[in-house]
Structure 1
Amino acid sequence: MSDLISVARPYARAAFERAREENDLAGWAEQLELLAAIASDSRMHDLLSNPRVPREQRAQLVLDIAEGKLNNGVINLVRLLGENGRLPTLPAVSKAFNELKAEAESRVEAEVIAFRKLTQAQEKEIHKALSERLGREVSLTSSVDSSLLGGAIIRAGDLVIDGSVRGQLDRLAANLSR
């Protein structure tokens, strides 16, 4: 996975710069998300990774599926990725682009995975604390994972705060095995 991200980052940065020149970060993000969804389909992923299908044909297939929904810059990006055999990286390119976009907008996507559904007051408190700690606007989503046994895990960019009971037990076991 880290290989995909390292391969995708230069493409995402180039796309980001082009989108910024065009003053259309939101439009590019939307189009890249569409391409990521296309490339993430299991059958499509197999086809995009198949060396027996010519690279140009693979790129054209992606463009045909997204016909009428892409601007010229994004079409050129798809062709470039196709020429270089990098179409399977489209989901990683989209993710890296969105990270650059969020950074430029002084915003960060954060996720809270909790043992049980958070109350509105808890979400508000976590949102406020993260905004203060990161110095950015935080877009917070939450989900439930009962396997945590209690507590929560918070992910915001590179920051991971593991306050789950399962995480504490794992750390305790690691310390005891030393």
Structure 2
Amino acid sequence: MQYELIAKRYIKSLMESCDQASLENLAALLSVVSKEAYGNEKFNLIMNSNGVSSNAKCQLVLDMVASANSSTANNLVKLLAENGRLLLIPALAEQLTREIARAKRTFTGRIYSNNVVDQASVETIARDLGTKMGATISLSYVASDFDGVRVEVDDLNVEINFSKSRLNAQMVEHILKAI
């Protein structure tokens, strides 16, 4: 959480100073570095070590982004290194990807159910929900023990539940009120 707040400041500056294509390339680059490097335990030991100079850490990350030949990426890495914030890169990657999706109005979500939901139904739900929300939504099915269907789109703060137990309880309540 603390990294997210700091990352938002960097992302705001990037969004103001870069065009859409540069932002998308930077997001892809940071995501790859985040997954490949920051997902590696040995790399994290080096980055957290007090025995390794900040210049060496900076050069290590610069070597990872060198293939992109991006002055924006290089300058961002140097700025993060100067401020001792190279550990922010995974949070920056995630936050930048979210901001680009928000700007494009494209979101991803999940459908949870203990019954298998076929791909056609997933696509129909995504299309209808996207129409309702004024966005492009892609959903993926996740098997779970939820007794019904739950749709979540985190970046839109949307959660829709339909559970069999809740439906049964509401039917019993309605019948008792009618009697």
Q: Aligning the two structures, in what range does the TM-score lie when normalised by the shorter sequence? A: 0.7 to 0.9
Deviation at 1:115, TM superposition (A): 2.8
* Map of 1:161 onto structure 2: 159
* Map of 2:76 onto structure 1: 77
What does 1:136-151 correspond to in 2, within 5 Å? 136-138=135-137, 140-151=138-149
How large is the Cα RMSD of the aligned pairs?
2.6
* Map of 2:56 onto structure 1: 57
What does 1:64-143 correspond to in 2, within 5 Å? 64-138=63-137, 140-143=138-141
CA contact (8 A) 1:13 1:97 kept: no
- Identity rate, percent: 22
Deviations 1:127-168 (A, max 9, x none): 123212321112x14142333354234124041415275xx7
1 CA distance for matches of 2:113 and 2:84? 40
For structure 2, the residue ranges without an aligned partner over 5 or more in a row are 167-179
CA contact (8 A) 1:113 1:145 kept: yes
* Map of 2:22 onto structure 1: 24
Counterpart secondary structure, 2:57: helix
Q: Which amino acid aligns with 1:36?
A: S
Q: Which amino acid aligns with 2:101?
A: A
TM normalised by structure 2 equals 0.77
> Matched residue pairs, number?
165
CA contact (8 A) 1:12 1:94 kept: no
Pair 1:144–1:108, CA change in 2 (3 A): closer
Deviation at 1:70, TM superposition (A): 4.2
* Map of 1:171 onto structure 2: none
CA contact (8 A) 2:47 2:87 kept: yes
- Deviates further, 98-107 or 156-165: 156-165
CA contact (8 A) 1:39 1:91 kept: yes
2 CA distance for matches of 1:51 and 1:164? 52
2 CA distance for matches of 1:110 and 1:47? 35
CA contact (8 A) 2:14 2:23 kept: no
TM normalised by structure 1 equals 0.78
1 CA distance for matches of 2:25 and 2:11? 14
* Map of 1:175 onto structure 2: none
* Map of 2:177 onto structure 1: none
Q: Which amino acid aligns with 1:24?
A: S
Pair 1:64–1:97, CA change in 2 (3 A): same
Pair 1:146–1:77, CA change in 2 (3 A): same
For structure 1, the residue ranges without an aligned partner over 5 or more in a row are 169-178
Pair 1:93–1:120, CA change in 2 (3 A): same
- Deviates further, 67-76 or 144-153: 144-153
